A and B are shown apart, each in its own frame.
Chain A
Amino acid sequence: MIILLAVTEATAIVCGATFGKLSDGIFNGLAFLGNMYPPDWSAFPEMLEPALQSIIIAFLGTVFGTIISVVFALLAANNLANPWVRNITRVFIAIERSIPEIIILILLVAAFGLGAMPGVVALSIGCIGMLGKLLADIIEEIDPLMIEAIESVGGNKIQVIIFGVLPQIMPNLISYALFRFEINIRLSVLLGAVGAGGVGYELEYSFGMLQYHRAFTAVIIIIAMVFGTERLSYFLRKKVKTEGALT
């Protein structure tokens, strides 16, 4: 307990966190929010397209990311790949998981320039760490009888994967992909602010130009977008769960 208090105090000093600053900050923040208050509805129509762009970036990132993750998951499952391939893939997935998406994006923007493309690629690569590990664990737990049955009638490795593995992991795959889509929507806003375009860019731009009323409109759109996709993905996941064969 004492150690915890000491550590807290030390970290607070490093961060420069004091209560005086906090109380000042609260007044400043409230004044600022009051400044933002009437949202600029005239900017609303021109922000719909960036919002759509953000959603599409997240969608494409999820689709391509899921496809890549399935490949990595197949390589990382111990019942399909040989131990060498498996270990190397697992290490790769673990390293990828520890790189934040925003760093991938910064590097990609440096390589390819601004635009939707680095955003989509960054999100796709970001999927590998999470989906790859989850799917690999699921593939390792599938029913081996189905694989044996297909092998015994002469199916090769690809046929085993298509007819034996994929149907078994499909429900889980879809629900994880939907979950990842939710995360990607948030990330696409974040990435947009760094240079992937979309509504995140609008937000950053409005803040930079000190057009706070416009920024407030962007905030409202973002919140609506995140809330909407969260509900949608929750609904779809529930549906997949009741209709799917597994879980």
Chain B
Amino acid sequence: MTAIDFTLPSKKFKDKTTVFAVGTVVVALCCIYTNFNPLAFFMEFHNVRDLLGEMLPPNYRTLTDDPSTGYAILQTLCMAFLGSLYGGIIAVIIAFLAASNTMPLKSVRMIARFTLSFLRVIPIVVVILIFVIAVGPSTFAGMLALVIVTIGNFGKLFTEIIENVESPPAEAIYSVGASRMQVIRYSIIPQILPTLIANMLFAFDVNIRSAIALGIFGGGGIGFKLQLAKSVLHYKDVAAIVSLIIIMVILTEKISDYLRRKILGEGKLK
């Protein structure tokens, strides 16, 4: 072995360099394909500056003069609440049908699992566009869309939670002659309840954000207000609404965080 072997780059280094180079080329090609120039963001930053100049100071008068803005926020909150509640309840029911320790029939299990994984891949835009046509553009359409999306997002999680419960309590109840429903009622539900509620609170967090996006596609609520203010180029109103949305999201996040910690702390499961 000569000294040159040691000075040459090692195989590991060569591999890393190859991966890095190929990655850079791919990224560059993608940039060219979509006409995306990362530098343009900085070169044309004056656009952002102009926009900010138009947005500041936020016009909070729109909130005090126009009571419908406050109502729109309430609508968004209600949409997210109902979507999480009904979506969560339906998700739990489907999860019981899909879990191997509560549903003995394999065919039912397969159908429930297929439903869940199918709902999971449908993006929220498609759901809302269909519901807007089915029930008309309203908060109700947004709520139904949130129900569907919540089932998709949390159904699988709930199934796993149900499947992971400890089996000794269930066996103890079963051994004294309880029926399947009684086993579920007295052994499985008490075990999963805190986790389920905590997850529903999390769903509420997620749904608040989705509810804002839904408003833009005709789901009503504060997102719709935002879209309206933006399309008539009232950027000062836009700034006020955006700041309201940020406050709303942070507040709901803190509240649901607090409740979640309380529930998980009090519950048997950690």
For residue B30, which residues in chain A have a CB less than 8 angstroms away from its CB? 56, 59-60
Given known A8-B82, A17-B82, A112-B44, contact A98–B242 (CB-CB < 8 A) = no
Measured CA separation A219–B125 after assembly (Å): 10
Which of the residues B37, B135, B212, B250 comes within 8 Å of A103, measured between beta carbons?
Answer: B212
With both chains docked as a complex, state the minimum distance between the C-beta of A121 and any C-beta of chain B, in angstroms: 6
Verify A25–B135 contact, CB threshold 8 A.
Answer: yes
- Contact segment of B73-81, B93-101, B188-196: B73-81
Given known A60-B36, A100-B212, contact A207–B135 (CB-CB < 8 A) = no
Verify B140–A186 contact, CB threshold 8 A.
Answer: no
Given known A29-B131, A100-B209, contact A219–B249 (CB-CB < 8 A) = no
Q: Which residue on chain B has the smallest CB distance to residue A56?
A: B30
Which of the residues B35, B213, B223 comes within 8 Å of A116, measured between beta carbons?
Answer: B35
A73 CB-CB contact with B under 8 Å: no
- Contact segment of B46-54, B60-68, B161-169, B170-178: B46-54
Verify A14–B143 contact, CB threshold 8 A.
Answer: no
Verify B27–A63 contact, CB threshold 8 A.
Answer: yes
Measured CA separation A189–B143 after assembly (Å): 20
Which of the residues A29, A60, A110, A121 comes within 8 Å of B27, measured between beta carbons?
Answer: A60
Q: B-facing mask of A12-23, CB < 8 A → 1, else 0?
A: 101111000110
Which of the residues B34, B81, B129 comes within 8 Å of A57, measured between beta carbons?
Answer: B34
- Contact segment of B1-9, B102-110, B116-124: B116-124
Verify A60–B81 contact, CB threshold 8 A.
Answer: no
Which of the residues B74, B122, B126, B134 comes within 8 Å of A29, measured between beta carbons?
Answer: B134
Verify A11–B82 contact, CB threshold 8 A.
Answer: yes
For residue B216, which residues in chain A have a CB less than 8 angstroms away from its CB? 102, 106, 194
Given known A60-B27, A98-B250, A111-B48, contact A32–B134 (CB-CB < 8 A) = yes
For residue A226, which residues in chain B have a CB less than 8 angstroms away from its CB? 121, 123
With both chains docked as a complex, state the minimum distance between the C-beta of A245 and any C-beta of chain B, in angstroms: 13
Verify B121–A107 contact, CB threshold 8 A.
Answer: no
Q: Which residue on chain B has the smallest CB distance to residue A98?
A: B249
Q: Which residue on chain A has the smallest CB distance to residue B77?
A: A11
Verify B51–A14 contact, CB threshold 8 A.
Answer: no
Given known A14-B78, A103-B212, A226-B123, contact A64–B38 (CB-CB < 8 A) = yes
A:201-247 near B, CB below 8 Å:
203-204, 207, 215, 219, 222-223, 226-227, 230
Q: Which residue on chain B has the smallest CB distance to residue A60?
A: B30
B13 CB-CB contact with A under 8 Å: no
Chain A, interface SS category: helix
Measured CA separation A33–B249 after assembly (Å): 34
B112 CB-CB contact with A under 8 Å: no
B235 CB-CB contact with A under 8 Å: yes
Measured CA separation A219–B216 after assembly (Å): 19
Which of the residues B74, B121, B122, B123 comes within 8 Å of A190, measured between beta carbons?
Answer: B123
Interface bin, chain A:
35 or more
Verify B134–A203 contact, CB threshold 8 A.
Answer: no
Verify B253–A98 contact, CB threshold 8 A.
Answer: yes
Q: Which residue on chain B has the smallest CB distance to residue A26?
A: B134
B268 CB-CB contact with A under 8 Å: no
Verify A110–B134 contact, CB threshold 8 A.
Answer: no
With both chains docked as a complex, state the minimum distance between the C-beta of A160 and any C-beta of chain B, in angstroms: 19
Verify A200–B125 contact, CB threshold 8 A.
Answer: yes
Given known A110-B51, A190-B213, contact A227–B121 (CB-CB < 8 A) = yes
Which of the residues A15, A95, A222 comes within 8 Å of B82, measured between beta carbons?
Answer: A15
With both chains docked as a complex, state the minimum distance between the C-beta of A243 and any C-beta of chain B, in angstroms: 13
Measured CA separation A211–B144 after assembly (Å): 23
Q: B-facing mask of A35-68, CB < 8 A → 1, else 0?
A: 0000000000000000001001101100110000
Verify A103–B245 contact, CB threshold 8 A.
Answer: yes
For residue B78, which residues in chain A have a CB less than 8 angstroms away from its CB? 10-12, 14-15
Given known A56-B30, A103-B226, A230-B121, contact A117–B129 (CB-CB < 8 A) = no
Measured CA separation A168–B51 after assembly (Å): 41
For residue B238, which residues in chain A have a CB less than 8 angstroms away from its CB? 107
Measured CA separation A186–B124 after assembly (Å): 8
Q: Which residue on chain A has the smallest CB distance to residue B27?
A: A63
Given contacts A26-B134, A106-B216, 7 further A-B contacts (CB under 8 A): A8-B81, A16-B138, A29-B133, A32-B134, A106-B230, A189-B125, A230-B121
A-B contact pairs, 8 of them (CB 8 A): A25-B135, A32-B134, A100-B212, A106-B230, A112-B44, A117-B36, A186-B124, A190-B125
Identify the B interface with A (CB < 8 A): 27, 30-31, 33-38, 40-41, 44, 47-48, 50-51, 74-75, 77-79, 81-82, 85, 121-126, 129-131, 133-135, 138-140, 143-144, 209, 212-213, 216-217, 223, 226-227, 230, 235, 238, 242, 245-246, 249-250, 253
